[in-house]
A and B are shown apart, each in its own frame.
Chain A
């Protein structure tokens, strides 16, 4: 089954304790991205990656890091989490260009990770 998976789904942590949220897709997609969703602010893109070893900042990258060492995985790293990073996080991946009948821009979202930083 084609899917995007995230782990963990729920996480409670304390300020300053490094954490990693994993994201994996089994569709051989090149483009992957991370979002955070906050009430009244909608979905905001944190980082995105066009392919292996290619990453770019989105609208709200401060306090986050990413890596793309292999196509299927795109982990989100919070080196020193703070309470203002409490949010709902989504990973997403996009179909590759050139696939017949598939829109490149349509994103497949993971199930979300709800993070609480105390």
Chain B
């Protein structure tokens, strides 16, 4: 059965700290891995990763994928209170018929204290 596991479930840090969020997966016919940020509304897209070892960066956020070990990490440096959210990891499985399905992890809830 396909699954995506995120850890930790919840994290509380102070502003300025660096955090690392983990996502491991077991998904047949892996296509890509996506990270989303969800505040009190719909998820918003952060990164898509398809190749191992290539870091994606956007400001203080960065992410990398290891397809051999089947995991990804999301790093946030110099955290700010505005980073407080649930971070979701999703893996896209792709089949030969051209359809793809999404498997989401349960998310990591990050709270950044001022």
Knowing A56-B99, A111-B42 are in contact, say whether A41-B32 is a contact too (CB < 8 A).
Answer: no
Q: Check A90 against B32 for contact (C-beta < 8 Å).
A: no
Let me know if A103 is at the binding interface, CB within 8 A. yes
Chain B interface residue bracket vs A: 20 to 34
Closest to B43 in A: A109
Q: How far in angstroms is the closest Cβ of chain B from A55?
A: 11
Q: Is the interface of B mostly helix, strand, loop or mixed?
A: strand
**Contact residues in A for B101 (Cβ distance below 8 Å):** 45, 48, 58-59
A-B contact count (CB 8 A): 51
Let me know if A44 is at the binding interface, CB within 8 A. yes
**Contact residues in A for B45 (Cβ distance below 8 Å):** 106-107
Q: How many residues of A contact B (CB 8 A)?
A: 22
Q: Check A44 against B100 for contact (C-beta < 8 Å).
A: no
A8–B107 alpha-carbon span in the complex (Å): 26
**Contact residues in B for A45 (Cβ distance below 8 Å):** 101-103
Residues of B at the A interface (CB closer than 8 Å) are 31-32, 34, 41-45, 48, 88, 90, 92, 98-107
